[in-house]
Structures are given as C-alpha cells and as structure tokens.
Amino acid sequence: MKAGKKLTGHYALLFGIAVIVVILDQWSKSWIRQNVGLGAEIYPISFLAPFFRFTYWKNTGAALGIFQNANIPLLILSSIIVIVIIGYYRKALDEPLVFRISMGLLLGGAVGNIIDRIQLGYVTDFIAMGSFPVYNVADSCVTIGVFLMLIGLLVQERKEKAANIEMEANQEVDDEN
C-alpha cells in the first residue's frame, strides 16, 4: 500500500507542474487573442521596449517557425511525446528532483500547445524578444524543462562518478589489507 501512495505522490508532482503550466499557458494565450490584434504589438514593460514585446502570432509550425503548415504531424508528434513522458516518468523516480520537475515542465508545455492545435488549428505565440522568433509560455516551459533535464543528468553523472571513485578507493584499501 505504501508503494502505491509513494508512486501517486510522485505522479502528483509531474501532473501538478503540468497543470500549472497548462493553466498559465492557456490563460496567457486567451488574453492575447482577446486583447491584441493579429500581428499587432504591445509593450507590457515600457523600459524594455521595443526589445521585449507581445506580438500575437498564429504558428502552424514548430519552434522557431520551422515546418509551417504541419499542424497534424506536429500534433501527432506532440501526443507521442506526452505518452513517452508519462510512461517514462515511473522509471525516472530515482532521478534527481530537478530531472522530475523538468518532465513536468515538458509535459505541460507539450499539452499546452496540443490544446491550441486541436482547438484552433495553430499555436498562439506572443512573446517577442529582439529578432528571436515569437514564442509562448508552453514553449518557454519546454525550453526550461530541457535545460533542467540536462542539469539533472549532469548532477546524476557526477554523483555516479564520485560514487565509483569512492568505491574504487575503498576497494584499493581492502586489497591492501
């Protein structure tokens, strides 16, 4: 019984983070669609203008504007990614917390954009910085999730190397005795 409760608690982390991401993502996209005309710009932080702005854009492709008009293949790919994340998460329970948090961010980001693709036939993008392509909250969470996942993997690798070094040192001491 305890193992089931522990597993449920771990999945609560994954789905809790994902739900928060989806709520923030969908709320922000809805606000943009209601308050900013397609292609129009607003400057929410005046001292960062014109570098940082909100620009309502319909994206039928992937990140950085690639694969335009590929909504259905990207919807299928995103759905597969969601299934893989949920399926793999149980195996990731021994990974560092930062790695599991990253999976929640990735899941929420993927679901946020899936919702747009299903409901609208495109993804609502609106965050613009300099000449970088326009993106959204879901995209940001995916990027942060990948970054955190890499950090988690590096932390885990360093721990394993340190444990191996310690084990080898202990083995050498045992061999000398």
Select which of 25, 94, 125, 175 is catalytic: 125
Annotate 137-149 with DSSP letters as a single string. HHHHHHHHHHHHH
Q: What is the CA radius of gyration of the chain?
A: 21
| Residue 139 falls in the annotated catalytic set | yes
Host H or E run for residue 52: strand 52-59
User: Residue 172's beta-bridge partner residues?
Assistant: none
User: Residue 52's beta-bridge partner residues?
Assistant: 129
Q: Amino acid identity of 100?
A: R
For residue 116, the Cα-to-chain-centroid distance in whole angstroms is 16
Select which of 25, 94, 116, 139 is catalytic: 139
| Residue 94 falls in the annotated catalytic set | no
Helices (H), ranges, 90-136: 97-120
Catalytic (active-site) positions: 125, 139
